[in-house]
Chains A and B, each alone.
Chain A
Amino acid sequence: MTSPFHTLGIETSCDETAVSLLRGETEVIANLVYTQAEIHARYGGVVPEIASRDHLRKLPYLVNDALTRAEISLDELSLIATTYGPGLIGPLLVGLSYGKGLAFGLDIPFIGVNHLEGHIFSHRLTSPDLSPPFMALIVSGGHTLLVEARDYGNYRLVGTTVDDAAGEALDKVGKMLGIGYPAGAEIDRLAQEGNPTAIRFPRPMASSPGFDFSFAGLKTAVLYYLRKSPGERKEDVAASFLASVIDVLVKKSLEATRRYHLDRLIVVGGVAANSHLQKRFVIDGQKRGIDVLFPKPVYCTDNAAMIAGAGAFRYLQTGETHPFSLPPAPSLSLHQESER
């Protein structure tokens, strides 16, 4: 029997430092996202302050921890997959250099992964048998994109936000309501107890042609509403605002799925974990004969399992690897991934 194929995934494109170990293409055997609290607990609160995006100091802890939890050793690794863009140049460089160095030392192949393609692969960790063609909505704090996936590696951008990402609008309205950052989960909870029809906020771009999104105007509408009616129940504002965001996302995404003659839509990224959004997508999807699928919440937010998944797929299916000279690509788009 040959030994199993193990991929180490590394994700450091923005805020999160994340490491994951994958067996084969889809079996996650360790999945860690650094949180300050975890490390503090382990060292009895005496570790020096590690700054929020100090990926370099967090990475070695996480890699060791992942190997220990998965009960494998460094020499059982077969491939290293690291995010190379889009993201912040500094954090990308840290993850890339670490990944390349480890791959070089272990004499195993290295592959750079597009963070956005990683999100598309996140659904595969939950539903391994699902494959393109499908429409994908990538919706998070930093991105709101509609992408037609004709095949893995073959993507067409269908729509994008022209100002704020949906997750960003949630966070900023959360701030107006006095909720801490990130606000997604708390807005979800507040909305549970609010009336989504209490206030009629605008549905930006809902009836304009094309599949682009805009959320900045909606954010401003909430701001003015709160200035005029400071006594309004927070729960009702959260529920009404969320209803507006969801309306637009659901309407545009399902329309795009139909327009491109597809019958499946995957919704990925941090906002995909929102329970109200999932409910609406499934119900409205059914009405239109479209299957709407979501990854498990832990694979919705930024993680390294999706990076390992995309890297393992590309390597095992096409033999693709990258030279150690691969530079970080802060403005990488999915379109560029199609041309690779």
Chain B
Amino acid sequence: MDKTIIARSAVEMEEIGIDLAVNLSDGMLISLVGPLGSGKTTLVKGIAKGLLITQVVISPSYLLFRSYQGRLTLHHLDAYRVSSLHELAEVGLDLLLPPETGVSAVEWPTRVEGIVEASDILVRIDLLDDLARRVSITS
């Protein structure tokens, strides 16, 4: 199923994430594609809200990954500083692609071969003008 939504603010971007969270179930893998500053982490904040997670979701870029407990466990991964599946396997994160329990949301999935292809949901964010983003969801 394909869907395209225009988000005009960070709040609207979060709302897309909240909506997305409703249909998530254990073992799902979500790929988030979009340039720096396009709102990928903001969308994941929305997914976290939708999964009834109360912790603050912060960027996983440095640590590569953070987990949060809610209706489902949310594994938030960031392949920004990674260039191969081997590198992810080295630190044990290949086991989350997809995870056995919980859902994984991966930023910069195209940096590692095979993640986008293995995803249940692909979210693509394009920058339009100052405030608007086009969010295309394929599931």
Contacts and interface: CB of A to CB of B under 8 A. Distances in A.
Given A15-B81, A161-B58, A331-B67, 10 more contacts: A52-B87, A86-B63, A87-B63, A91-B91, A162-B58, A164-B58, A165-B62, A216-B41, A216-B59, A222-B37
A91 B87 CA distance: 12
Q: Is the interface of B mostly helix, strand, loop or mixed?
A: loop
B8 interface: no
Nearest to B60: A142
Contacts of A235: none
A89 B91 contact: yes
B62 A53 contact: no
A69 B85 CA distance: 36
A298 interface: no
Contacts of B10: 217
A216 B87 contact: no
A227 B128 CA distance: 11
B36 interface: yes
A164 B61 contact: yes
Interface in A157-182: 160-165, 167-168, 171-172, 175-176, 181
Interface in B64-96: 64-67, 81, 86-87, 90-93
Given A53-B87, A53-B90, A162-B58, A176 B36 contact: yes
Contacts of A74: none
Interface of A: 14-15, 51-54, 86-91, 140-143, 160-165, 167-168, 171-172, 175-176, 181, 216-217, 219-220, 222-224, 227, 331
B130 interface: yes
23 contacts: A51-B90, A52-B87, A86-B63, A88-B91, A88-B92, A90-B91, A91-B91, A141-B61, A142-B63, A143-B62, A161-B58, A163-B58, A164-B58, A165-B59, A168-B62, A172-B61, A175-B36, A217-B10, A219-B36, A223-B37, A223-B127, A224-B37, A331-B67
B80 to A, nearest CB: 8
B41 A163 contact: yes
Taking each of B37, B39, B42, B63, which has the highest tally of chain A beta carbons within 10 Å of its own beta carbon? B37
